[in-house]
Chain A
Amino acid sequence: MEYLILAIGDVFGGTTLLWVAVGVTLGYVLGAIPGLGKAIGVAVSIPLTFYLEPVSALGLLIGIAKGSAAGSAVSAILLNTPGEPSSAPTAFDGYPLARQGKAQKALKMGLFASVIGDFVSTITLILLAAPLARYALLIGPVELCAILVFSLVFIGGLSGNSLTKGLIAACFGIFFATVGLETETFVPRLTFGYLELEDGISLVPMAIGMLAVAEMIVQAGNLDTLDRETAELRDSSDPRDRRVTREEWRRCAPVIARGTFIGAAIGILPGLGASVGSFLSYGETRRVSATPEKYGTGMIEGVAAAESADNAVVPSSLIPLFALGIPGSVIAAILIAAFILHGLTPGPLMFQQQPRMVAGLYVSMLCASAILLVIGLLGQRLFSQIVHVPLRLVIPGVLLFCCVGSYMETGSIFSIFIMLGFALIGFVARKLDFSFVTFLIGFVIGPKLELSFRQSLQLLKHDASNLLGHPIALVFLFAALVFVVMSGRSSVTRRVQMPPTTQQH
């Protein structure tokens, strides 16, 4: 508690609040542009934070993540093109509302639901992360190795349509994490004689390439469709369509509460992500509704359900990162790089080693929720104009920022080559449905997995039967196995049940 009071002074006394506001604004703008999501925004912005105070830097990045999660509703509602996949259910009812001339109403409800979901989920993070971390300190290398294997299998199975492809992506992520000097023997691995690779492949250019550049290439291939939808957009001039009525608030309050709970719960589980949260919340709201048939035609509850869950996922997805040091989402994986860069190593020990910084981060996150509401209300009309900017004018600017961001990481053009290499891998992975989320998480936890694996081999004396002395590890390994078997069976059942024309991959 004393650290929280000190942190309030830190955040309000310096420039931190300003940087959080900059982050939220930047995130809102990035989120409003189709194709630019929170992961891209955070990855590209990490180099900007090199010269900021740690709490300001992390506040800026978390502000971008929060702002972008809320901003993605703008393009979903106005263009029927979600800023990121998790806003797709927002478009189901948001876009019909916009077509009825009620865009401002839908945008406002989306903002309110986003802020409530985000704020409550941040409180959940604050209340749960530290107690969970105390238990995490009891975990040894064997248990940690088993938990990491389970997390990768779980994430691999849920972040794409195919467990096999997800696991291939995870293996590739771990493989690329082994590049560079090996930490125990200092033997160079897969450096091909390049000195730049001896420290390993840097996460920032890799993430920028896989997320931002690859996405820009995909967007560049679909310019005509997006530009046509932008040109057809018309604003309503009816003042009644610009506010949320008391009756609508009464109907949406339980929906927002349910969405927030679903989003926060989904965020805690590694790998499920914001898309699962928003779809689940939307589906559940529709299921319990007295008029489910009206969903998809412009129900304001649909917007509230999707947006509250979407935004509740962001803070709670940091719980496994803070408590266990395991990134449960792509945004958490990218944030690890920023946290370490600013002297905060995510994991159970950070609550003991850096309590003031953690408290500063919590206060920044709570402030970001309030700033999100203010900036959203003040700038919503302005931000909604952003979707009118043709993407062909946006993409070159994003590519320039990607290059600057990658270059700044090492001060060498080699980083740009790394970025371009992984952009190509990211493009192919997107098109062939290999989960780049699992790839990035595999890359981030790769060194930890290798270290705990080495330690486990020594502790178990290279004898698998010694695992019987580690019941927690056995439970997680068994759970991973059960998940693989169940995923395999459900995939076979899906193949048998679905006619060829509707089969999903």
Chain B
Amino acid sequence: MKRANAISGIILCVFSLVMLAFVIPGQISTGPSGMMSPRLVPQMTMIGIFGLSLLLVLGSLRGGEDDHPPPFSRKELLALLRISAVFAVAIALYEIFGALIGASSLVIFGLLALGERRPLVILTLTVVLLTGLWALFYKVLGTAIL
């Protein structure tokens, strides 16, 4: 965790400096004179993040060896990639074909990405979930989702 703390601390230091030097001045105007600047609170939070991240880096440099396992396991990173890919495909299909195909693809590809291979289970679960959503919103709550 010490190594992870050091790396995340350095990244946050750089991030806060970039925000203070470029993003906040570029994205927030100074506001009318005589009033508190709209930049003040975002700048204060970034200064706080910079100082605390520096503490995090310094704290991780002290002490003995780092014998903790890495915070991100290979399986979790793979799961992140898989689920990101499922969302990317589902959103693309939603934009092209509409909500029904987008929602169906989210369930179907989600099941496939998590290791489900039985066609009947995939089909049944997709139909049950979408019908359930339709019944909940259109029949029970009496409103349209789209």
Chain A residues engaging chain B, CB cutoff 8 angstroms: 48, 50-52, 162, 164-165, 167-168, 171-172, 174-175, 178, 182, 184-185, 187-192, 213, 216-218, 220-224, 391-393, 395-397, 399-401, 403-404, 407-408, 413, 416, 420, 424, 427, 431-434, 450, 453-454, 457, 495, 500-501, 505
Contacts and interface: CB of A to CB of B under 8 A. Distances in A.
Nearest first, the 5 closest Cβ-Cβ pairs linking A and B are A396-B110, A221-B76, A220-B79, A392-B114, A221-B79
B145 interface: yes
A221 B136 CA distance: 30
**Among A172, A175, A391, A393, which residue has the most Cβ atoms of chain B within 10 A?**
A175
Nearest to A449: B41
Given A48-B141, A221-B75, A223-B115, A187 B38 contact: yes
A393 B52 contact: no
A167 B35 contact: no
A216 B5 CA distance: 24
B1 interface: yes
A431 B77 CA distance: 11
Contacts of A171: 45-46, 48-49, 52
B111 interface: yes
B38 A396 contact: no
Contacts of B4: 432
B52 A182 contact: no
Given A396-B125, A400-B106, A500-B67, A190 B42 contact: yes
Interface string B71-112: 111011111101110110011001100000001001100110
B106 A185 contact: no
A182 B38 contact: yes
Given A168-B56, A221-B76, A400 B103 contact: yes
A472 B35 CA distance: 27
A221 B82 CA distance: 10
Contacts of B1: 433, 505
A453 B49 CA distance: 19
**Among B24, B42, B133, which residue has the most Cβ atoms of chain A within 10 A?**
B42
10 contacts: A51-B142, A52-B141, A175-B49, A187-B38, A220-B83, A221-B78, A395-B110, A404-B103, A432-B5, A433-B1
B38 A189 contact: yes
Interface residues of B, number: 68
**Among A187, A434, A457, which residue has the most Cβ atoms of chain B within 10 A?**
A187
B61 interface: no
A469 B8 CA distance: 41
Contact of B143 (A51, A420, A427): A51
Interface string B27-71: 111011001101101100110110011011001001111011001
B115 A427 contact: no
Contacts of B110: 395-396, 399-400
Given A175-B46, A217-B76, A168 B12 contact: yes
Interface class of chain A by DSSP: helix
B107 A400 contact: yes
Contacts of B49: 168, 171-172, 175
Contacts of B42: 175, 178, 189-190
B79 A174 contact: no
A220 to B, nearest CB: 4
B145 A408 contact: yes
Given A221-B80, A416-B91, A505-B1, 5 more contacts: A167-B52, A171-B52, A182-B31, A397-B107, A404-B145
A51 B145 CA distance: 11
**Among B63, B87, B95, which residue has the most Cβ atoms of chain A within 10 A?**
B87
B23 A431 contact: no
B115 A392 contact: yes
Contact of B106 (A175, A396, A433, A457): A396
Given A397-B125, A413-B94, A432 B45 contact: no
Nearest to B77: A221
A261 B25 CA distance: 51
B111 A420 contact: no
B27 to A, nearest CB: 5
Contacts of A185: 31-32, 35, 38
Contact of B55 (A52, A164, A217, A392): A164
B12 to A, nearest CB: 7
Contact of B45 (A175, A401, A404): A175
B129 interface: yes
Interface string B118-141: 000100010001000100100001
Nearest to A434: B8
A424 B77 CA distance: 11
A172 B141 CA distance: 36
Nearest to A392: B114
Contact of B27 (A162, A184, A192, A395): A192
A330 to B, nearest CB: 20
**Among A165, A213, A434, which residue has the most Cβ atoms of chain B within 10 A?**
A165
A190 B73 contact: no
B67 to A, nearest CB: 6
Contacts of B115: 223, 392
Contacts of A407: 145
A393 B111 contact: yes
B59 to A, nearest CB: 7
B105 to A, nearest CB: 10
Contacts of A420: 84, 87
B128 to A, nearest CB: 9
Given A185-B35, A432-B8, A495 B91 contact: no
A376 B68 CA distance: 41
B120 to A, nearest CB: 12
